[in-house]
Amino acid sequence: MKKALILVVAVLVLVGGIAPYGFGIRTEETLTTLVQLAEVVLDIPVYTTRYTRGWFRSTAETWLALPPDIATALRAYVPFMLTHSARAEGLTVMHRILHGPFPLSLRPGNTASLLPVQTILTSSLVPGVPRVSRDGQPAKALPILQVYTTVFLHGAGQGHVAMPAFTFPPEAQPEADIVWDGLQGDVTVDAQGHHVTGAFQSPGLQLAGADKKLALHDVSLRAEVSTKRRLVRHSDTVVRVGSLAVTHRTHAPATWAVTGADLHATTATTSGTLHAVADGQLTTLQLADASYGSGTAHLELRRLYLPALVRLLQKFGELRQGEPDFVSFWWRLLLSEDLARPLSELAMPSPEFLLTQVSLHTTDGEIQARVQVRIDGNRLLTPGYLSQLLQTIDAEAEGEAPASWVRATAIDQVRRALRRRSRLAAWLPDSALDALATTITDQQLRSLVAQEYLVLDGHLYKSKARYTHGQLLVQGKPVDLPALTP
């Protein structure tokens, strides 16, 4: 009996005293794997800048280096989230790690469990600079995002994400620049890190600018990402938005608003080349004073080489900084040798864009449209200037809309243009301006039908357009374009 008791005590000492140190070593390896996984999934540099291993617990610090455009956006709207180092602007994540097999703490959700695990991590997004102590930081440096992760013995993990509600600046309620209603979510990762699933929900977000406000409510996201090999990735994502509206800060009518929006997208990326399919739908749409019913769209992207696209956008930004005037900027783009290489890389796989099944219900009937754009990489001549790329584009578009809706929309646009551009129109009464806009619109519509650029089929206006080898054709008739190339 005494020997058995000694054996049990020895086992408990081994498991409870010695095992945690071994689990701590294993946990450090697991964190390294998770950091590598995050780098692949987020497609940004991620570093572990500090790791301190103890017997029963450890601490670590991870640095997420953000791309300049994302850093600029965060600096403008949530500057307290950014940290700064000599490398780049980014986000600092602090990790508090409890070693298995039986961590000396409550599990996530303040629950107790006897299930053995490898480790439990509490990761907190905290503003600050890597390798700098955060003792005595002001209240604004408290964690603004926390992730509770449990890593099981076989290597798989599950996590809970929590972001508390806040306003910024806090003293500006109720007219704060940011009103964030919080976020909750759950993530699971398989033992090899090749399969990740996530589900997130947020009640809403409000952003206030100088003259407009954006309000987002009831948002949910479900995503599944699998990486069969290092250079092959598949994803399936569903996003649902209860409502999204942009309004003027001083009065209530929405500039535009959407309710009941759903987006389902699947992507496959192989060696940097993206293939994507997305289906979207919405319940209602409001644009200024016009209201619309349900709408749908189907989008496909084929053979889009992402590294070339990223380099191309970077070059666009660099060239734009030196040319504030758009006309000068455009002509510089056409002949820029810096753009030739990324343009050639982008065009080489002959990328294709398709937007089909586009429909939108109006009070007068249904609007339908289809667009297809393809770049023929085999026709691109060296060195690959933008002016040469324009000659390799093949595009088709067709659409139809209720004639009454087209006429009413055109009249409204003409009326607005007259008010904006004509001093005389500013002195005209509304009835006279409406009559003038109606006359101009009807003349233009009749002229387009007479020239066969527009077809009146019963109560519908229809038209087809094609662009190929630098020539635009509308209903098979050539249309002279302004000089886009030298």
**Structural tokens at position 452:** 């066969």
Domain boundaries, the chain: 1-105+116-130+142-155, 167-271, 293-486
**pLDDT score recorded for residue 22:** 59
Separation CA 439–CA 418 (nearest Å)? 13
**pLDDT score recorded for residue 262:** 96
**pLDDT score recorded for residue 147:** 86
420 pLDDT band (50/70/90 cuts)?
confident
325-354: average pLDDT: 79
Does 132 have pLDDT greater than 50? no
**pLDDT score recorded for residue 481:** 66
Highest-scoring range by mean pLDDT, 41-45, 78-82, 390-394, 416-420: 390-394
Which residues 6+ apart lie within 8 Å of 229 measured at CB?
Answer: none
Which residue would you say has higher pLDDT here, 339 or 242?
242
Backbone torsions φ then ψ of 362, nearest 5 degrees: -120, 170
192 pLDDT band (50/70/90 cuts)?
confident
Does 371 have pLDDT greater than 90? yes
191-208: average pLDDT: 88
The Cβ of residue 481 has, within 10 Å, a number of other Cβ atoms equal to 11
User: Lowest-confidence range among 103-117, 258-272, 286-300, 372-386?
Assistant: 103-117
237 pLDDT band (50/70/90 cuts)?
very high
pLDDT exceeding 90 applies to what percent of the chain? 31
138 pLDDT band (50/70/90 cuts)?
very low
pLDDT tens-place string over residues 278-328 = 999 999 998 877 889 999 999 999 999 998 888 888 877 777 776 666 667
User: Lowest-confidence range among 138-152, 239-253, 341-355, 450-464?
Assistant: 138-152
152-180: average pLDDT: 76
Tell me what the pLDDT averaged over the chain comes to: 79
Residue that has been written with the tokens 């007259």 in this structure: 418
247 pLDDT band (50/70/90 cuts)?
confident
99 pLDDT band (50/70/90 cuts)?
confident
183-201: average pLDDT: 89
105 pLDDT band (50/70/90 cuts)?
low
